[in-house]
Amino acid sequence: MKLELFMPIQGRMLEGKPSILNEKELCAYEKDVNDILTISQVFSYLQNPKKFLEAFEGDAQIRKKIASMEVKTELGKDALYGVMRFQCDQGLSYSEREQLSQYVDLQFQKEKVGYLLSETVETASGKMQLELWNPYTSDFWIDGEKSAKSQKYKITEIVHPVYPKLHRIQALRDVNETVKEGDLGGYVQREWNLSQSGTSWIYEDAICEDLARVQEDASLRHHAKASGKSFVAGKTEATDFSQIRGYAYVKDAQIKDRAIICGEAVVESLGIAKAFPVITGDSRVRGEIHGSFLVEDTSVSRGKRLVNPSEVKQRVETDLKNKKQPQR
């Protein structure tokens, strides 16, 4: 899992006529900004997750899952941003992401200065005071994608026969090997539900609603449904009558039959070839599954954590029988 936070950079000229530079004006100083960051002691501290998280008092699993972090500048459209990026070996649950987000917020509030980094930069135009600040709460972008040059679909006027808030999508260009320009897809509530980038798609009568999101190469098929604030990414395939809901995070997994991934569940492959989880039958997952597992007619409760990085699938013992098909 990759977590990214985009922060505005504020610059203030200290010589001549003092002035505050807007985001567009700061773009001209990208090299100067990067040069000072490479020798900044604060910047060096921000590259070390152990030091940065030294005062963190949240769940100990969060420290273990974060493999690296970096803070750098990136040139966006007419703006220069500071980017804080955490790379995690294993996906963080919703509550873990919230804890990390709140901790980052606190770093900006220390001594009520409002910024994380403040340095004086020598530029051709004179000295500039550079500040990396965050006027918002630290909501992370998860497994971010580059912006698409063109939209891949539109939301049509075709309304779901039962839920009027949902409309079918239609491809505006070839999306992947099976979805061509003009093809109709499943249903969404808003554009946020399906990324305009990648090959992700919602097929047949599948649904993505509320603030759930499908992106990268993920797909919902048949009558599968993503809802709440769930996140479906990588090469995940959710099929049949499966559901991904609540605050669940699913990446590179197969969700089949009547399986339900809910609560703050984390289901992912760990990025190892063929070592992906398969959740099928009447399974209900609220805990964490990392790696190669076959979960069939089984409940994985909140707090339970399964990790298997090998390609050999481990079968989780069946503990559910004769569950009814979930109502849609």
Question: Given pLDDT bands bounded at 50, 70 and 90, which one contains residue 144?
Answer: confident
- pLDDT tens-digit profile of 76-126? 766 777 788 999 999 999 999 999 988 888 776 654 555 667 778 888 778
Question: Rounded to whole angstroms, how far apart are CA atoms 144 and 156?
Answer: 26
Q: Per-residue pLDDT for 186 more than 90?
A: yes
Q: Could you tell me what percent of the chain has a pLDDT over 90?
A: 55
Q: Per-residue pLDDT for 322 more than 70?
A: no
| pLDDT given for residue 280 in this prediction | 97
Domain of residue 214, residue span: 153-316
Residues 130 and 268 in one domain: no
Q: Per-residue pLDDT for 326 more than 50?
A: no
Q: How many domains does the chain have?
A: 2
Residues 183 and 264 in one domain: yes
Please give the full DSSP string across 251-283, using - where no structure is assigned.
Answer: ES-EE-TT-EE-TT-EEE-TT-TT---EEETT-
Question: Given pLDDT bands bounded at 50, 70 and 90, which one contains residue 149?
Answer: low
Q: Per-residue pLDDT for 136 more than 60?
A: no
Q: Per-residue pLDDT for 325 more than 60?
A: no
Residues 133 and 282 in one domain: no
Higher pLDDT, 328 or 245: 245
Residues 236 and 280 in one domain: yes
| pLDDT given for residue 267 in this prediction | 97
In the predicted model, what is the mean pLDDT of residues 55-66?
90
- In a domain? residue 326: no
**Contact at 8 Å (CB) between 271 and 251?**
no
Question: Given pLDDT bands bounded at 50, 70 and 90, which one contains residue 201?
Answer: very high
Higher pLDDT, 12 or 186: 186
Maximum pairwise Cα distance, the chain: 78
Residues 256 and 203 in one domain: yes
- Look at residues 142, 164, 184 and tell me which one is the last residue of a structural domain: 142
Q: Could you tell me what percent of the chain has a pLDDT over 70?
A: 88
- In a domain? residue 325: no
Residue 284: give its domain's CATH number. Answer: 2.160.10
Question: Rounded to whole angstroms, how far apart are CA atoms 26 and 17?
Answer: 17
- Look at residues 90, 117, 142 and tell me which one is the last residue of a structural domain: 142
Q: Read off the tokens for 40.
A: 């900044």
- Look at residues 113, 142, 171 and tell me which one is the last residue of a structural domain: 142
Question: Rounded to whole angstroms, how far apart are CA atoms 47 and 99?
Answer: 19
| pLDDT given for residue 146 in this prediction | 61
| pLDDT given for residue 328 in this prediction | 44
Higher pLDDT, 178 or 11: 178
Residues 161 and 309 in one domain: yes
Place of tokens 């804080």: 84
- pLDDT tens-digit profile of 32-41? 777 777 777 7
Question: Given pLDDT bands bounded at 50, 70 and 90, which one contains residue 135?
Answer: low
Residues 194 and 256 in one domain: yes
| pLDDT given for residue 187 in this prediction | 98
Q: Per-residue pLDDT for 18 more than 80?
A: no
Residues 281 and 195 in one domain: yes
- pLDDT tens-digit profile of 231-280? 999 999 999 999 999 999 999 999 999 999 999 999 999 887 778 999 99
Residues 160 and 307 in one domain: yes
Q: Per-residue pLDDT for 319 more than 70?
A: yes
